[in-house]
Chains A and B, each alone.
Chain A
Amino acid sequence: MPDSEFPEIRLSGIGTAPGICIGKAYLVDKEGVNIVKKYYIGASAIEEETARFQEAVARAEAELRSIIQETSEELRQHTGILETHIVLLKDRMLYGKVVETIEREKINAEWALKKVVSRLKAMFRKVSDPYFRERAMDIVHVSDRIMRNLSGGANVDIKSIDKRVILIATDLSPAETSQIQLEWIKGFVTDGGGMASHTAIIARTLQIPAILGASNATALIHNDDLIIVDGTSGTVIVHPTEQSLLEYEERKQRFEAHQAMITRASQAVARTADDVTIHIMGNIELPEEVVSVRDNGGNGIGLYRTEFQYLGRTTFPTEEELYDKYKDVVEVMAPRPVTIRTLDINGDKAVAHTRVDDEPNPALGLRGIRYCLKKPDVFKTQLRAILRAAVHGNVRVMFPMISNCPEVIEAKRLLREAAESLEADGLPHNADIAVGIMIEVPSAVIIADLLAEHADFFSFGTNDLIQYSLAIDRTNRHVSHLYNPLHPAILRMIRRVANVTRGSGVDLYMCGEMAGEPLYLPILLGLGFTELSMNPQAIPLIKHAIRAIDMAAAKQCVDDAYRMTEAREIEAMLRNRFGEILADYAYISSKIEG
């Protein structure tokens, strides 16, 4: 409903996931995931609104008192903080200010409470003593309790979105993104973030249009505003005119027709314009995902993450359990290859029962091959399951987090031992499988020539390699914008390894996120990758893009990129030369195939 009351506004940001969506905006609050209803009240309603707030405070107080009462004597000493919270409920700076704000600004209680708490939090942020600064949390807890009582017990939060909306947020943390019921989300718009942020990756994986870095989006867009998101060009249109709506409906149809065309072609082989065949594989975590890899035209599994079966349990999975799962995947994919990465326990995914002591820096701690070599029994159980599954198809094994040669030698020795023990037990197995390593630690890049002696293939894990090389924690919003696969250092590292593999008999693969992004494709082809593995949803798009790229042009582009000093320059060159043929953009031009 284009409303003449509101003029059309256009915002631009970074189009991080292509596609067009038209729908209602749903704002996620700046300070977290809770959405606070905001509305003005008439002067006559002030008294009623104040009373509503007072009732909520009274209920919050009653809740706290009953918690204290229900606490057993021996734990009573810990309820002291709750008694403090009871006093805080009535604190002039909180209670008094909220009542004042309702009266003065004529706004609803939830909004007034949110405003007062935001101001208090800002005040505490200036306190230099960390103990006192942390006390802002007590205020937040107390106000959350009042808020729950105000909104009738039902927390309005990101988890409870139940209509198809376009999510508008300042920024979304991985934790927040993981809470969203994604089937309800038509699109994303955020003030911050960029191409490589977590939200962008999720959006691309799920093929939801997304625009990040649209500063002011949260200030200019209101809940329930009608908006158009064009994730390809990076345009957000608020209060679109009838004309814009028509235009974008038509573009949306063109985009969808284009997508359908790409999907139809996804089962065909991906050959570059000059006839070089590239194998496009899928990354999976659950055995069920093989279906998606096949449907999307994947030529195999380039990365089978095996952590899932170790999570949320109290005991380690048995060899039989692992074997059953691996066998399922291998059989469905046969004769196409399935690359099984051995257990890569890391900071995000720790096996609950083995978490003996917390590591201050899990990304640099006991994970991947380091963990497996320390727990040879756990490792061998997995290796035996892999060797047994190898009877049913084409299996490769891949070791994660390799940082030196002895690790590979030792892992291969354990693999041999596993084969010997299977032999002794008289169990069918296949020990004649390709053994590769992940290239994701900078030291592995530097000693690639030494590692090549021990491996049948190298597979780049770009996510970790970039984080470790550029010293960036991608989940840290202060530095995440610096995460960039086109950093000249990353290109140099990949090229170094590519040069080592040339003519050595070691195959060069990539299974990191970089492989699933069409923009980086010319670089990867130019560097000599013959196999790329990605989220299954990205396969059709990448295959489509490969068919439009010429190897000579790709090699030229690597040479040129090598002389450039910054990522921005390289990205501009790629967009300039390949923008038109990268599938994201194709549907806009008039040359629509199919």
Chain B
Amino acid sequence: MNKDFNGIYKEVRIVNKLGLHARSAARIAEIAQNAKSSVWLLKEGHDAVDAKSIIDMLTLACGQGVTVKVGVDSRSDAGVLDEIVKLVECGFGE
């Protein structure tokens, strides 16, 4: 990440049993749509994926126990980031 990078990210562990499956990814995407900048998800060993795209997130195949980084490209979207992190931490309320 270059110096001009103005974004922020947080690490979060996938705790729900099914992992980052279609429905949970859909909920992340719905929240991410509200961000003005890019929202991304990064899993060790993979390229970052677009958190506004369910399909992109599903290709990461994040099962239970995987830790991912979630980030937004602009600090102005910190609220969106927090909301996503909270959702993941509570296991998508499942």
Residues of A within 8 A of B (CB): 80-81, 83-84, 87-88, 91-94, 120, 123-124, 127-129, 131-133, 135, 138-139
Contact = CB atoms under 8 A, between A and B. Distances in A.
B90 interface: no
B54 A88 contact: yes
B2 interface: no
Interface in B17-31: 18-19, 21-23, 26, 29-30
B68 interface: no
B55 A120 contact: yes
Interface string B10-46: 0000000011011100100110000000000000000
B54 A84 contact: yes
A132 B22 CA distance: 8
Contacts of B29: 87, 91
Contact of B55 (A80, A83, A88, A129): A88
Contacts of A94: 55
A92 B52 contact: yes
A129 B63 CA distance: 9
B67 interface: no
A124 B60 CA distance: 10
A93 B53 contact: yes
Q: Which A-B residue pairs are the 4 nearest by beta carbons?
A: A132-B61, A93-B55, A87-B26, A129-B61
A83 B25 CA distance: 12
A67 B29 CA distance: 22
Nearest to B29: A87
Contact of B58 (A80, A81, A128, A132): A132
A80 B25 CA distance: 12
Contact of B21 (A124, A127, A135): A135
A318 to B, nearest CB: 50
Interface of B: 18-19, 21-23, 26, 29-30, 50, 52-56, 58-59, 61, 63
Given A81-B22, A81-B23, A84-B23, A91 B54 contact: yes
Contacts of A80: 23
A92 B56 contact: yes
A123 B30 CA distance: 23
A125 to B, nearest CB: 11
Contacts, number: 54
A124 B54 CA distance: 13
B22 to A, nearest CB: 5
Contact of B22 (A92, A93, A129, A135): A135
B59 A91 contact: no
A560 to B, nearest CB: 56
B53 A138 contact: no
A83 B27 CA distance: 10
B44 to A, nearest CB: 15
Contact of B59 (A81, A83, A127, A138): A127
A135 B58 contact: yes
A123 B56 CA distance: 10
A92 B61 contact: no
Q: Which of B19, B58, B61 has the most CB atoms of chain A within a 10 A radius of its CB?
A: B58
Contacts of A128: 61
A91 B61 contact: no
A454 to B, nearest CB: 57
Contact of A91 (B19, B21, B53, B63): B53
A94 B22 CA distance: 14
21 contacts: A83-B26, A84-B54, A87-B29, A88-B22, A88-B55, A91-B29, A91-B54, A91-B55, A92-B53, A92-B56, A93-B53, A124-B58, A124-B59, A127-B59, A127-B61, A128-B61, A129-B63, A131-B19, A131-B21, A131-B63, A139-B55
A83 B63 CA distance: 21
Nearest to A92: B53
Given A83-B26, A120-B55, A135-B22, 10 more contacts: A80-B23, A84-B23, A87-B29, A88-B54, A88-B55, A91-B53, A91-B55, A124-B59, A129-B63, A132-B59
A275 to B, nearest CB: 71
A382 to B, nearest CB: 50
A120 B52 CA distance: 16
Contacts of B58: 124, 132, 135
Nearest to A86: B26
A87 B24 CA distance: 11
B50 to A, nearest CB: 6
A123 B22 CA distance: 16
A502 to B, nearest CB: 62
Contacts of A124: 58-59
A114 to B, nearest CB: 16
Contacts of B59: 123-124, 127, 132
Contacts of A139: 55
Contacts of B22: 81, 84, 88, 135, 138
Contacts of A132: 21, 58-59, 61
A117 to B, nearest CB: 10
A127 B58 CA distance: 9
A42 B17 CA distance: 50
Contacts of B23: 80-81, 83-84
Contacts of B19: 131
A282 to B, nearest CB: 53
Contacts of A135: 21-22, 58
B26 A88 contact: yes
Contacts of A93: 50, 53, 55-56
B34 to A, nearest CB: 13
B53 to A, nearest CB: 5
A120 B53 CA distance: 12
Nearest to A83: B26
Contacts of A92: 50, 52-53, 56
A242 to B, nearest CB: 51
A120 B55 CA distance: 8
Q: Which of A81, A93, A120, A139 has the most CB atoms of chain B within a 10 A radius of its CB?
A: A93
Nearest to A127: B61
Contacts of B53: 91-93
Nearest to A128: B61
